[in-house]
Amino acid sequence: MSKEIIVAVETTRAAVVTGGSRGIGRAVARRLAADGLAVAVGYTSREDAAASAVAEIRAAGGAAVAVRADVAEEEQVAALFDTAEREFGGVDVVVNAAGRMVLAPVAELDLDALDALHRTNIRGAFVVSQQGARRVRTGGTIVNFSTSVLGLSTPGYGAYAASKGAVEALTLILARELRGRDVTVNTVAPGPTATDLFLDGKDDRTIAALAALSPQDRLGTPEDIAAVVAFLAGPDGRWVNGQVLRANGAVV
């Protein structure tokens, strides 16, 4: 009598990371790859940086692919998810690290700049979350990004903070809408973090003052933030759902 032999096939976990070519997004892509996930690196314009991020991950033994996608464009984001599903078999983690920052007092902000900011930060977060809600496999997670400026209420950040407030509002609602799916939805809100975008245009005195806001007397690093995302995406973060994690070194 023949015996049926059953062979267990390990499924590769995969992540989509928008804004994955630079800064926090790149650190997140690198960290998730180090944790064993295949990564689809989404980017908007810096093809060279995205290719470099993919090369880094592959050189360390991971799997990655770069895909150009404007987060506010539904068809492009859908194509990004299509690529992840085709290359890696599915999507388990979605991290939307793409964002835009425009600083000016409310009374002086150009409204065209406001529209561009909201297009990326609000519509983009919604589009990526929508695709994630439709496609993430059971046991997966969706992570968006806000900012600890919401707590600081720093002058000049009105438009940026308002756009990220919308992202925070979306978080708990989407978590509750995904009831029964075992999919978590959270938002990470970094404080001052030493990325090229953050440091651009700031003198040493300003940077030192921002570092001094934390009792740890330093700025955050992209790797600090990536570690928080990795926790949310991993097995130890399953009971954290619908939350805003302020990863800011006690700045607020």
Catalytic residues: 160
51, 143, 148, 45: which is closest to 97 by C-alpha?
143
Q: What are 220's strand-pairing partners?
A: 193
The tokens for 166 are 């919308």
Query: Cα separation of 172 and 166, whole Å?
Result: 11
Place of tokens 């330093």: 218
Query: Cα separation of 102 and 109, whole Å?
Result: 9
SS3 for 22?
A: coil
Query: Cα separation of 126 and 213, whole Å?
Result: 32
Query: Cα separation of 152 and 2, whole Å?
Result: 70
Of all helices (H) and strands (E), which one includes residue 131? helix 124-135
108, 117, 95, 58: which is closest to 187 by C-alpha?
95
φ/ψ region of 114 (left if φ > 0, alpha if ψ in -120 to 50, else beta) reads alpha
